């Protein structure tokens, strides 16, 4: 006989949908779900708003090295508004010692990484041809919010989830783990192109995503497994605050060698747009 469980676990930016399990396996299934990361945005104070990147040179840099264990998840909400037809960098984790790329999530603008369809979300592990790209085959349509999550279950097992659904996984990846990482949103020095669009509610957590889930509009919540949490709803100033209090604040800036056009203050701009206001992710 089967029992229906509604599992709602909030660690980061995610929530979990009903699972049907055998009674004998129920406790194990619940324990497994409890190891997942779950946070999602809503309209609570401080959570409203997002940060808009111009697709040219905007970047947010988290210079303080983040602890990066053998298991982690980086996830949040992405709304692409500009097509650069290149490797549009949403976020990248770099080795603080030598700056080499450890992990990145990008949009494959004209299919150089994954072919068709163009404009799909891609998870990159290591640099160059160190590991094959993980291709989601989910297109980042202009003006549409998607929930994007990259997760490392162990140094050889990586997964890319879009809108709570596993799109691709790989258990053959070479180890690139460095123990710590600096983080950039919206652009990266030395590879790819700038991301043009909105980011909201990003988090780095010390737990993997093991099962599919349904992103819900829940309050942003800090848990013991949350390494850093950026709502991108600050609304003013030049800092993206880390909501955990761990001090992993991001500096709103521009990519080196690419000054902002015109007389505008350089760097990404605050926006009132969020998935809660324009919820169109799920069918």
> Domain segments of the chain: what residues?
43-213+227-271
Predicted model pTM: 0.80
> Model confidence over 117-164: pLDDT tens digits?
999 999 999 887 778 999 999 999 999 999 999 999 998 899 999 999
User: What pLDDT does 34 receive?
Assistant: 32
> Model confidence over 233-249: pLDDT tens digits?
999 999 999 999 999 99
User: What pLDDT does 282 receive?
Assistant: 42
DSSP the chain: -EEEEE----SBS----EEEEEGGGHHHHHHHHTTS------SSTTTS-EEEEESSSEEEEEEEEEE--SSEEEEEEEEEEE--SSEEEEEEEE-TTT--EEEEEEEETTSTTT-SSTTEEEEEESSTTSS--EEEEEE--TT-EEEEEEEEEETTEEEEEETTEEEEEES-PPP---SEEEEEES--TTSSEE-EEEEEEEEEESS---S---------B--TTEEEEE-S---SSSEE-BTTSS---EEEEE-TT-PPSTTSPSS-EEE---TTTS--S--
Assigned CATH class of 43-213+227-271 = mainly beta
């Amino acid at each position: 006989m089967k029992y229906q469980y509604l599992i709602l676990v909030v660690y980061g930016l995610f929530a979990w949908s009903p699972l049907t399990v055998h009674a004998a396996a129920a406790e194990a299934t619940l324990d497994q779900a409890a190891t997942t990361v779950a946070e999602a945005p809503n309209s609570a104070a401080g959570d409203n708003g997002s940060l808009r990147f111009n697709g040219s040179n905007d970047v947010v840099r988290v210079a303080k090295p983040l602890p990066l264990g053998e298991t982690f998840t980086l996830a949040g909400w992405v709304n692409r508004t500009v097509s650069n037809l290149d490797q549009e960098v949403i976020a990248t984790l770099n080795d603080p010692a030598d700056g080499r790329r450890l992990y990145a999530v990008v949009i494959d603008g004209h299919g150089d990484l994954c072919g068709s369809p163009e404009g799909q979300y891609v998870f990159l592990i290591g640099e160059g041809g160190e590991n094959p790209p993980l291709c989601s085959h989910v297109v980042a349509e202009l003006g549409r919010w998607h929930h994007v999550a990259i997760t490392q279950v162990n140094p050889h097992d990586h997964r890319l989830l879009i809108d709570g659904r596993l799109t691709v996984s790989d258990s053959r990846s070479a180890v690139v783990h460095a123990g710590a990482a600096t983080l950039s949103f919206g652009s990266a020095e030395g590879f790819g192109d700038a991301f043009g669009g909105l980011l909201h509610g990003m988090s780095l957590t010390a737990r993997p995503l093991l099962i599919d889930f349904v992103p819900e509009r829940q309050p942003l919540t800090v848990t013991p497994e949350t390494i850093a949490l950026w709502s991108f709803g600050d609304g003013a100033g030049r800092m993206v605050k880390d909501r955990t209090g761990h001090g992993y604040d991001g500096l709103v800036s521009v990519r080196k060698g690419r000054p902002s056009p015109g007389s505008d203050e350089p760097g990404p701009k605050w926006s009132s747009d969020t998935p809660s206001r324009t919820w169109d992710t799920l069918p």
